[in-house]
Amino acid sequence: MPVAAQVQRHAIERPHQLALCGPEGSLTYAELWREVIARPLPGKGLVAITLTDPVDQLVAVLAADLAGATPLLCEEDQRARVAATVPVDLHVDIPLPAAAPFDLHVDASLPATGTAEASADPADDDLAWACLTSGSTGRPRAVVRTRASWAGSFPHLSELTGVGPDDVVLVPGPLVSSLYGFAAVHALATGATVVVPGRWSPGSLTVQLRRATVVHVVPHRLPAVLDVLEEVGGPLRTAIVGGAALPPHARDAAARAGVRIVSYYGATEMSFVAVDADGTGLRPFPQVEIQVREGEVWARSPWLAEGYMAGAKGPLKTDGEGWMSVGDLAEPYAPGQPLRLRGRGDGAIQTGGATVVPEDVEAVLRGVPGVTDIVVIGSPHPQLGSVVTAVLEGSPPPRAALEAVARGGLDAAQRPRRWYAVGDLPRTPTGKPARGLVAARLASGDPEIRRLV
């Protein structure tokens, strides 16, 4: 079913329910449907949406869905890079104009008449949604997926998290991120009220958390959410966390605040792979099969994407039998056991004949007092090939203290030979440290990255 049709249903059943709350104003479900249906798109194909207001973005997304087009939310500079290889049929960079005044008829049919015609016979296998993925390298690729692979997972996520029409869901990040974009559309499909500030705004959390019952967030933002919640209180009961590994003790901190965490592992190309709904470890998301082959995670499910548009190259691999991988690493796995991730294979460091997985090193050092986050990369070395290099965010202790922690928890090959500190790590739109940008800044001699001696 198109997401627009679900919004239509909510407009019939709960017309006065708030649907979207953005920085410039709010819309009820009746008003949202009126906005969508009064703003038709000319034709189908790929629609690149570079609007800045999150409410305008979602109106355009739903209008594209209603028309049978494929919406792609992106920044203007991303669109320019994507358009060099992907044929964009329509570019929406200003709010869609209303074709004509439209009176909402709140009845069982609520036809899409007059100004916007729904796509004829929408099918589950229509290429209905597109997202950008860049990983930590900064090279955007357009991932395209079917309607079923996108919206078919909504009921499972709702059941796992308890999100329903009486919730207020805070989505505190840019909707161009597939994580935040999915979170907003899923919440609209359930009939919830969706708070979409459009960007991370710590100063707004006090107001937002006074009403939000659910937050969909990346891991490194969770501590700030819990800190504000402790200070001001609020009805928050669930945090849906994805995009990277949870910080140490995150579940304990959330439990003290009365917040349940539902964390998940996935990728833009594969959608949901595994979920931890109770703190016992990652288990396969509903209808997902998992294998670990030679250390790599492979998945087979209805949620997999169709691939990259225009034949773009990327980490996505398929085996011809419905299985897919993006190179993430894990410990050996057997059905019934939790999936234990080790990080991304394409970031492995070859040093002196040993292979070091950066995330293994980061997991040990991330808990050092004063370290808020860490990126481990390989720096070129004439004899060893690379040496393990740690770039620490925050106010780390002296190098001697860091080396003592490394000796106590890491093998000799894993211990960093070079140590650096930076105030804030660069990050991808999903909140992950941008490993490639860290390496590039370090190689260029960025003065903001200081060496620890």
In a domain, 45, yes or no: yes
201 & 261 share domain: yes
- Reported as a single tens digit per residue, the pLDDT across 281-290 is 999 999 999 9
Q: Which domain holds residue 230?
A: 3-330
409, 108 contact by CB (below 8 A): no
254 & 374 share domain: no
325 & 353 share domain: no
Tens-level pLDDT at each residue, the chain (453 residues)? 689 999 999 999 999 999 999 999 999 999 999 999 998 887 789 999 999 999 999 999 999 999 999 999 988 877 776 777 788 899 999 887 776 544 444 333 344 433 334 444 678 888 889 988 754 444 568 899 999 999 999 999 999 999 999 999 999 999 998 899 999 999 999 999 999 999 999 899 999 999 999 999 988 889 999 999 999 999 999 999 997 778 768 899 999 999 999 999 998 899 999 999 999 999 999 999 999 999 999 999 999 999 998 887 888 999 999 999 998 889 999 999 999 988 777 677 888 777 788 888 998 998 899 999 999 999 988 878 889 999 999 999 999 999 999 998 888 889 999 999 999 999 887 778 888 899 999 999 999 999 999
288 & 357 share domain: no
- Reported as a single tens digit per residue, the pLDDT across 40-97 is 887 789 999 999 999 999 999 999 999 999 999 988 877 776 777 788 899 999 887 7
379 & 258 share domain: no
Sign of CA dihedral 14, 15, 18, 20: positive
What pLDDT is recorded for position 191? 98
320 & 417 share domain: no
User: What is the distance between the alpha carbons of residues 265 and 287, in angstroms, rounded to a whole number?
Assistant: 14
Which CATH number goes with the domain that contains 197?
Answer: 3.40.50.12780
In a domain, 341, yes or no: no
151, amino acid identity: A
14 & 127 share domain: yes
In a domain, 336, yes or no: no
> Which residue, of 278, 296, 330, is where some domain finishes?
330
> Which residue, of 330, 357, 383, is where some domain finishes?
330
In a domain, 337, yes or no: no
Helix ranges (DSSP H) in 87-191? 147-151, 154-161, 178-190
Give the H or E element holding residue 215.
strand 214-217
Which CATH number goes with the domain that contains 442?
Answer: 3.30.300.30
292, 331 contact by CB (below 8 A): yes
11, 29 contact by CB (below 8 A): yes
> Which residue, of 277, 304, 330, is where some domain finishes?
330
Phi first, then psi: what are they for 324, rounded to 5°? -140, 150
297 & 382 share domain: no
In a domain, 338, yes or no: no
What pLDDT is recorded for position 310? 83
192 & 309 share domain: yes
In a domain, 213, yes or no: yes
Closest among 195, 154, 203 to 172, alpha carbons compared: 195
59 & 155 share domain: yes
Task: Please state whether the predicted TM-score (pTM) of the whole model is above 0.85.
Answer: no
Buried b (16+ CB within 10 A) or exposed e, 347-368: bbbebeeeebbbbbbbbbbbeb
What pLDDT is recorded for position 121? 61
134 & 60 share domain: yes
Angle at 210 between CA 259 and CA 166, to 5 degrees: 70
Domains identified in the chain, total number: 2
In a domain, 76, yes or no: yes
181, 296 contact by CB (below 8 A): no
In a domain, 36, yes or no: yes
175 & 285 share domain: yes
